[in-house]
Amino acid sequence: MQRLILMRHAEAERASGSGRDRDRDLSARGRADAAAMGRALAAKGVRPDLALVSPASRTQQTWDLVHDAMGDVEVRGDEPLYNGSADTLRRAIEAVEDEAGTLLVLAHNPGVHLLAVEYLVESAASPSILDRMSGGFPPGSAALFTVDVAGRCTFEGYLQPRDLAG
């Protein structure tokens, strides 16, 4: 793996018809943000070979909209990603790191945010980058990392829906 994209699902409705958290759908804003994020990633030339996606409705819907801008990408639903901790996400990444040049992991907070911060600390990211990431990881955001041959992640960029034009 040469590149990693950690992404949080886009904004979801507060409740679902079933009353189950995992069944919450994207809000109208979430659908627009997910589509915009897909376009922004594609415009940067960021296209995953493999996507690991939580089975929750909101993450599946986010992926469907992001995927529209990506073309053909292998996708795997991964049950442990549903509200998975940073350690759970890290283990999922390590399990497939030899299968893709670019891996996208689409999951939930706090796991996504905490893992992104862990990677920043491990790579001795600048205080300004750490400060920016400490402000949270809003719905629909994506952190991009370059991965070296030893598997160390170095910060490449951070996209938030509010920063995207259109």
User: Is the entire prediction scored with pTM above 0.85?
Assistant: yes
Q: Which CATH number fits domain 3-163: 3.30.390.10, 3.40.50.720, 3.40.50.1240, 3.90.600.10?
A: 3.40.50.1240
> Strand 3-8 vs strand 102-107: parallel, antiparallel, or unpaired?
parallel
In Å, the largest CA–CA distance within the chain is 46
Distances in Å between the alpha carbon of 165 and those of 61, 138, 144? 21, 17, 19
Measured CA to CA, the distance from residue 160 to residue 156 in angstroms comes to: 14
Q: In the prediction, which pLDDT does 101 show?
A: 95
Angle CA(70)–CA(74)–CA(79) in degrees, nearest 5? 115
pLDDT, one tens digit per residue, over 5-51 is 999 999 999 988 898 989 999 999 999 999 999 999 999 999 999 99
Q: In the prediction, which pLDDT does 88 show?
A: 97
Neighbours of 76 (CB within 10 A): 12
